[in-house]
Amino acid sequence: MSSSAAADSAERTPDRVGRGRWALVAVPALVVLVLDQVTKRWAVTRLCDPPYCPEQSVREPIDLIWTLRLNYAENTGMAFSVGRDRGWLIGVVAVGIVVGLLVVARSLTSRVQLVLVGVVIGGALGNVVDRITRAESGPFSGSVVDFIDLQWWPIFNVADTAVVLGGILLAISMVFEPGGSRAPS
């Protein structure tokens, strides 16, 4: 098949998503962002003495089930506290990832993949909001609120969960749904 025939075929391939493409990205992103910020505000209010929580004012953790407990922590780095005190760089990278995902979303035709892109974007933005609103020494310098503590894994939050699980499920869906994405024509 010639390249022009392939381009013609790609143009005739119906976009299974239609006009709702951006709603499929925006709605899950907004839901994750709001859920993340609401739970972090709850954690600050319930697990420490606000507005910020130096170590001496952290309250006792709340034990839930097995090793799961709610325990306040602040993270200036990323997962496993890598990049501690490099929040500005992590914030810039997170914004770049959001922009990259929006570019990728333009060529996706799978509703599932678009929703998962939204989930990852919402999680990334949740932590970016923390870095901006809690900044004390420049843009993105604030710490991220973490509070979900398994006691055998680093403490995390809703945004972290959305980025990790959303990213894993997005990768899996791209492997098992090869027609779900296509190169732009």
**pLDDT exceeds 70 at position 62:** yes
36 is annotated as an active-site residue: no
**Minimal CA–CA distance to 98: which of 74, 125, 71?**
125
Which one of the listed residues 36, 130, 146, 149 is annotated catalytic? 146
pLDDT value, residue 111: 92
Cβ neighbour number for residue 39 with a 10 Å cutoff:
18
Question: Which strands make up the sheet holding 144-149, listed edge to edge?
Answer: 62-65, 68-75, 144-149
**Half-sphere CA count of 21, side-chain side, radius 13 A:** 16
Q: Which two tokens stand for residue 104?
A: 């990728």
**CA-based torsion, 68, 74, 75, 81: positive or negative:** negative
- State pLDDT tens for residues 101-139: 999 999 988 999 999 999 999 999 999 999 888 877 777
146 is annotated as an active-site residue: yes
pLDDT value, residue 59: 76
Segments of 84-155 assigned E as strands: 144-149
Helix (H, G, I), strand (E, B) or coil at 182: coil
Which one of the listed residues 36, 130, 149, 160 is annotated catalytic? 160
Segments of 37-84 assigned E as strands: 62-65, 68-75
pLDDT value, residue 14: 45
Per-residue DSSP letter, 124: H
**Minimal CA–CA distance to 119: which of 85, 153, 71, 170?**
170
- Pick the range with the lowest mean pLDDT from 74-78, 91-95, 103-107, 157-161: 74-78
- State pLDDT tens for residues 37-57: 999 999 888 888 655 666 656
Higher pLDDT, 5 or 100: 100
- State pLDDT tens for residues 72-82: 888 877 665 55
pLDDT value, residue 85: 63
